[in-house]
Amino acid sequence: MGDPGTKEVFRLEDLQATGTRKMGRKHVLSILVENEPGVLARISGLFARRGYNINTLAVGPTDDENISRITMTIDGAEHPIDQVTKQLHKLIHVLKIRDLEPEDTVARELALLKVDADAHTRQEVSQLAEIFGGRIVDVARRSVTVELTGSEEKIEAFEELLKPFGLIEMVRTGEIAVQRGRSET
Amino acid sequence: MRAVEALMAALKHEGVDVMFGYPGGANLPTYDAIYDAGIKHILVRHEAGGGHAAEGYAKATGKVGVALATSGPGATNLVTPIADAMMDSVPTVFITGQVRTDLLGTDGFQEADITGITMPIVKHSIMIRDPRDIPTAIHEAFHVARTGRPGPVLVDIPQDLSRADIEYEPIDSVSMPGYQPTRTGNAKQIRLAAKAMANAKRPILYVGGGVVNGNASEPLRELATSDKFPVTCTLNGLGAFPAPHDQWLGMLGMHGTRAANYAMDEADLIVAIGARFDDRITGKLSEFAPNAKFIHIDVDPAEISKNVPAHIPIVGDANEILPKLVGEYKSLKADTSRMNDWWDRIAHWREKYPLTFEDSTDTEIKPQYMVQAMLEATEGQAIVCSDVGQHQMWTAQYYDFPEPRRWINSGGAGTMGFGLPAAMGAQVGCPDELVVCISGDGSLQMNIQELATLADNDIPVKIFLMNNGFLGMVRQWQELFWDGRYSHVDTGNHPDWVKLADAYGMKGMQVTDKTKLVGSFKEAIEHEGPVLVDVRVTKEENTYPMIPAGQAARDMVG
């Protein structure tokens, strides 16, 4: 008797259930997969079949040409995150999944925002972009396009500020993320 | 050598002694290699028959079942067996031909994206893109199919690649970094589980098909009898614990015994082993086992806390974990008398609600009696392969399975048409055993073409047809829950089963008199080849007891 952490007098009533709890926040999953045809289809198919919603999805190469990284965000209030990750792990091409802790993570997204701007308003848009650390990447007679990187919240704040000028369209990459510090994500 | 010869060499290296399949254009090269490969091949009459035969073979022998089909419709005919194998975790490898690589994606003749179509229903699939990958793909397929939680693996081979010349070296181990099933179970969790069991006053072992798949019925029996733990099994778990037995409560779930379902309802500790809390087990989830804590032992971590939150999860192979759990449990020297009240309660249920039916007083054959007659005629020693419906539930209830791999059915998917080809596969895998197919007049029609395979290959399956002229289970639900509006459940009077058996070149018999049933079954069993016995049973008999769908165990009816 007497494992560390186990009471000497054992009571069934004291046992706590594990898993299935919905953690009501946004989760950023960083997934390493083998760079094989159809991997993304397997993952998106799994999500569709089990009724999980993907909020954002970004896929790209890693420093190893055989391995790709998928970064996805999903809503933990809607889906039991441990069940999502366990189902993903069953896919044989999935090598590693990291549910990144927000406070230990640097997450960035790239957005391109095309906004109505003529000679009168161009300067104002440009100033706003500068404040947010964005760059004007295209200027036309009646529009400008701003490139902005940052957190989801920052991009959304910038979007709100541009709306009064007339936001023509916005394209976002979805977040990519890396763990803070020396250790690998 | 030719890639298809390497394919055969790889299959042999994996210990394949029989395959079930059907040739066509895209797998002509494969069939050319089969011609003198020295591996037995059974030509089925429909690819679905081949797929289910591979499942039956796998379930009866514990080895990986193999089925082959050509591209397009040949491959899509395997979809149902693949889905079935996924639901019941059956180790199977399906090898399909595919159109030439230059035709891929062009809607070529007999092209179907079988890899894409089957993606949600395979454990894994491999589309060959380089002929040199074929042997490795086969070894990986077998490794994935048989380890961890077993399941179906598809290998799709384009026709031109199967004609290529490649080098072949046998491979003894595969490297799959993304596939590392946990086997051993966490020692601390096992100790905790033993403690919980020693402290439970109303425990029950809830045993599923994982114990059969994991060859863990012996350590399960030791665990149950290391104290006096009551045991119940799911439909797929039947045989994992020997029936009858003092500690055996019968099957649980929708058509389980009251003793088993009530014990689950009142238990303080449920030890789930290789079981997945399917809706046919839990009924209304929010009212399932309201007083219980759960130990959940399963090789698939995704099953743990999927439907019911586990208090003590243990991930690993049951035959690794259970012996350790037995050791830990015995060392606690628990007092069996703590369960006295519990066993009194169980005895009360057993006495008050035995599994029973009102037998006929004349010569009418009640379906439940038919199963009892089958048990008597086979002396309980048959491998029983079932189709899907009322006959399946009655057999699960009334046929006692003394050991695992003697009850073969489509549990999770509920595939009508499974029984006959599965029995064929089981018989091919176990040539010295008595293999019985219990079917219904609905199910048997769904893969009836395999009678030709039985006859031509002299595979001596005994088919006992429970013929009530209805799609009985659907009729029962229409009677109970749809105001008796019998919508399209009357199967009419055709075919003439005895003539049909005769036409297929096998013995056909018909029995309508209860007093002749056991004798007729014995006659069928003694006959050397395959036999079909058309047994005319009561037309409108219901399968009871029953938990109506979506209700709780304590709401059982009948």
For B199-210, what is each residue's pLDDT tens digit?
999 999 999 999
In the prediction, which pLDDT does B157 show? 98
How many angstroms separate the CA of residue B248 from the nearest CA in chain A? Answer: 24
In the prediction, which pLDDT does B13 show? 96
Alpha carbons B527 and B455: distance in angstroms, whole number: 13
CATH no. of A106-179: 3.30.70.1150
How many angstroms separate the CA of residue A175 from the nearest CA in chain B? Answer: 24
**Contact: A15, B312; criterion CB under 8 Å:** yes
CATH 3.30.70.1150 intervals, chain A: 106-179
Provide, as residue numbers in chain B, all residues whose Cβ is less than 8 Å from the Cβ of A95: 177-178
CB-CB: which of B115, B199, B302 is closest to A86?
A: B302
Res. B173: pLDDT tops 90? no
What letter does residue A115 receive in the DSSP assignment?
E
Do B436 and B383 touch, CB atoms closer than 8 A?
Answer: yes
CB-CB: which of A49, A83, A93 is closest to B120?
A: A49
Alpha carbons B16 and B402: distance in angstroms, whole number: 28
Type of residue numbered B434: L
Provide, as residue numbers in chain A, all residues whose Cβ is less than 8 Å from the Cβ of B98: none
Provide, as residue numbers in chain B, all residues whose Cβ is less than 8 Å from the Cβ of A31: none
The phi-psi region of residue B312 (left if phi > 0; otherwise alpha if psi is between -120 and 50; otherwise beta) is beta
SS3 of residue B284 by DSSP = coil
Torsion on CA atoms B81, B84, B90, B93, rounded to nearest 10: 30
**Contact: B188, A3; criterion CB under 8 Å:** yes
Question: Which of these, B455, B420, B229, B186, lies nearest to B324 by C-alpha position?
Answer: B186
In the prediction, which pLDDT does A2 show? 38
**Contact: A94, B178; criterion CB under 8 Å:** yes
If you write DSSP's letter for every residue of B431-444 in order, what string do you get?
A: TTS-EEEEEETTGG
**Contact: A41, B119; criterion CB under 8 Å:** yes
Question: Which of these, B169, B168, B137, lies nearest to B153 by C-alpha position?
Answer: B137
CA angle B64, B65, B68 (to 5 degrees): 135
* pLDDT tens digits along B30-50: 999 999 999 999 999 999 999
Do B193 and B325 touch, CB atoms closer than 8 A?
Answer: yes
* pLDDT tens digits along B284-315: 999 999 999 999 999 999 999 999 999 999 99
Alpha carbons B50 and B68: distance in angstroms, whole number: 7
State both tokens at B361: 């007083």
In the prediction, which pLDDT does A6 show? 44
CB-CB: which of B116, B124, B177 is closest to A95?
A: B177
Percentage of chain B exceeding pLDDT 70: 100
Provide, as residue numbers in chain A, all residues whose Cβ is less than 8 Å from the Cβ of B310: 17-19
How many angstroms separate the CA of residue A67 from the nearest CA in chain B? Answer: 11
**Contact: A92, B127; criterion CB under 8 Å:** no
Q: How does residue B454 score in pLDDT terms, banded at 50, 70 and 90?
A: very high
In the prediction, which pLDDT does A4 show? 46
Res. B388: pLDDT tops 70? yes
Q: In which residue are the tokens 């491998």 written? A: B383
Report CA torsion sign: B69, B73, B75, B77: negative
What's the whole-number mean pLDDT along residues B392-416?
98
**Contact: A10, B198; criterion CB under 8 Å:** yes
CATH 3.30.70.260 intervals, chain A: 12-100
Exposure of A72 in the CB half-sphere (CA atoms within 13 A): 22
Residues making up chain A, counted from first to last: 185
Which of B305, B308, B311, B328 should we substitute to test contact with A (largest number of A Cβ atoms within 10 Å)?
Answer: B305
Q: How does residue B170 score in pLDDT terms, banded at 50, 70 and 90?
A: confident
State both tokens at B267: 């238990």
Report how many Cβ contacts below 8 Å link chain A to chain B.
79
CB-CB: which of A12, A17, A45 is closest to B268?
A: A12
In the prediction, which pLDDT does A25 show? 83
* pLDDT tens digits along B67-103: 999 999 999 999 999 999 999 999 999 999 999 999 9
Alpha carbons B436 and B43: distance in angstroms, whole number: 21
CATH no. of A12-100: 3.30.70.260
* pLDDT tens digits along B210-255: 999 999 999 999 999 999 999 999 999 999 999 999 999 999 999 9
CB-CB: which of A12, A46, A49 is closest to B200?
A: A12
Alpha carbons B89 and B85: distance in angstroms, whole number: 6
Alpha carbons B376 and A33: distance in angstroms, whole number: 55
ipTM for the complex shown: 0.89
Question: Which of these, B236, B536, B242, lies nearest to B396 by C-alpha position?
Answer: B236
Q: Please state whether beta strands B248-251 and B407-408 pair in parallel, antiparallel, or not at all (unpaired).
A: unpaired
State both tokens at B52: 């289910």
What's the whole-number mean pLDDT along residues B500-526?
98
Where do the domains of chain B lie, and which CATH numbers do they carry? Answer: 3-162 (3.40.50.970), 187-352 (3.40.50.1220), 367-536 (3.40.50.970)
* Residues in B lying within 8 Å of A, measured between beta carbons: 115-116, 119-120, 123-124, 127, 129, 144, 176-179, 188, 191-192, 195-196, 198-200, 268-269, 293-294, 300-302, 304-306, 309-313
Exposure of B11 in the CB half-sphere (CA atoms within 13 A): 27
**Contact: A38, B119; criterion CB under 8 Å:** yes
In the prediction, which pLDDT does A123 show? 94
- Classify residue A142 as exposed, middle or buried by CB count within 10 Å of its CB (0-12, 13-18, 19+): exposed
The CA R_g of chain A, rounded to the nearest whole Å, is 22
What's the whole-number mean pLDDT along residues B120-127?
97
In the prediction, which pLDDT does A185 show? 82
Chain B residue with minimal CA distance to A3?
Answer: B188
How many angstroms separate the CA of residue B98 from the nearest CA in chain A? Answer: 17
* pLDDT tens digits along B406-437: 999 999 999 999 999 999 999 999 999 999 99
pLDDT in tens, chain A (185 residues): 334 444 457 899 999 988 656 667 889 999 999 999 899 999 999 998 888 889 999 999 999 999 999 999 998 877 788 889 999 999 999 999 999 988 899 999 999 999 999 999 999 999 999 999 999 999 999 999 999 999 999 999 999 999 999 999 999 999 999 999 998 88
In the prediction, which pLDDT does A23 show? 67
Alpha carbons B410 and B431: distance in angstroms, whole number: 22
In the prediction, which pLDDT does A7 show? 44
Type of residue numbered A66: N
In the prediction, which pLDDT does A21 show? 60
Q: How far is CA A121 from CA A116, A141, A144, A146, in A?
A: 8, 11, 10, 14
* Residues in A lying within 8 Å of B, measured between beta carbons: 3, 6, 10-12, 15-20, 33-34, 37-38, 41-42, 45-46, 49, 82-83, 86-87, 89-95
Question: Which of these, B511, B518, B507, lies nearest to B535 by C-alpha position?
Answer: B511
Do B301 and A86 touch, CB atoms closer than 8 A?
Answer: yes
Q: Which residues pair with B467 in a beta bridge?
A: B536
Alpha carbons B79 and B257: distance in angstroms, whole number: 34
Question: Does residue A47 or residue B52 have the better pLDDT?
Answer: B52
What letter does residue B191 receive in the DSSP assignment?
H
Which of A11, A15, A31, A83 should we substitute to test contact with B (largest number of B Cβ atoms within 10 Å)?
Answer: A15
